[in-house]
Amino acid sequence: MSPRTLCFVTTLVGASLALAQEGDPQAARRREMVREIEADVAATALSIGTRRLDSRVMEAMATVPRHEFVPPELARDAYLNQPLPIGHGQTISQPYIVALMTHLLEPEPGDVVLEVGTGSAYQAAVLAGLVGQVHSVEIIPPLAESAAARLQRLGIDNVEVRTGDGYHGWAEHAPFDGIVVTAAASHVPPPLVEQLAPGGRMVIPVGGRFAIQQLTLVTKHADGGIQTRQLLPVAFVPLTGEH
């Protein structure tokens, strides 16, 4: 089976966010991380259009164990409000950015969401407790495999991970209520716009590796019309693939 079609599905039954138990020694570190996210939100309120993120999103940020999604040698840095390397030239995004991108999707419990760029699956895990189903595409096979195994070990059973070129989306599961792209594209990929449901939202960093990237919100109206809004400058690894 080709790596582009290899599919990993988490099947372990359990609550998506049954990850942090009472007495969790990392809980205090997560609460401090959330306070730092709140400070960043307040500092960028004029750009992002709000001084407060969705409380459900913030609860997810306070619940998902980020230390499980970074290399063991970086576990002590897992709750710093900064990106961290995860190998293969990729990173786990800054918690503030993960929270903001999740908030901008306006996730609802029954939504079906596409993620482009699984990485370590941290963004997927945050989304998993907020929506019905997450389909995630990762172009680097070892990352896809380890992400799927990690989600299964943590009991997150509503995320499906596939190895493939996320530029082309995942047409079999479209349309998507939300799409989150965790790597910078030089433009908004037309296949992703096509796979976005009417009324859906896409959050994507747009810009080149050595150019200013803008976190961009793409909204698809009921009539199929597209509206884009640039929010703030960001720095992401580039989206790769045949495109």
Cα Rg of the chain, angstroms: 17
- pTM comes to 0.89
Convert the pLDDT of each residue in 48-60 to its tens digit: 999 999 999 999 9
CA distance 171 to 182: 18
Among residues 157, 160, 116, the alpha carbon closest in space to that of 138 is found at: 116
DSSP state of 67: G
Lowest average pLDDT, out of 25-29, 70-74, 116-120, 171-175, goes to 25-29
Q: How far apart are CA 30 and CA 81, in angstroms?
A: 10
Bridge-partner residues for 90, per DSSP?
87
Question: Which has more pLDDT, 177 or 20?
Answer: 177
Which residues, in sequence order, are bridge partners of residue 181? 116
Q: List, in sequence order, every residue forming a beta bridge with 87; answer none if it has no partner.
A: 90
How do residues 151-188 score in pLDDT, each as one tens digit?
999 999 999 999 999 999 999 999 999 999 999 999 99
Please identify every residue annotated as catalytic.
Answer: 93
Q: List, in order of start, the domains of the chain with CATH numbers.
A: 7-17+25-234 (3.40.50.150)
Distance CA 102, CA 192 (A): 17
Those residues with Cβ within 8 angstroms of residue 177's Cβ, 6 or more apart along the chain or in another chain: 108, 111, 112, 113, 131, 197, 199, 200, 201
Report the alpha-carbon distance of residue 207 to residue 139 in Å, rounded: 19
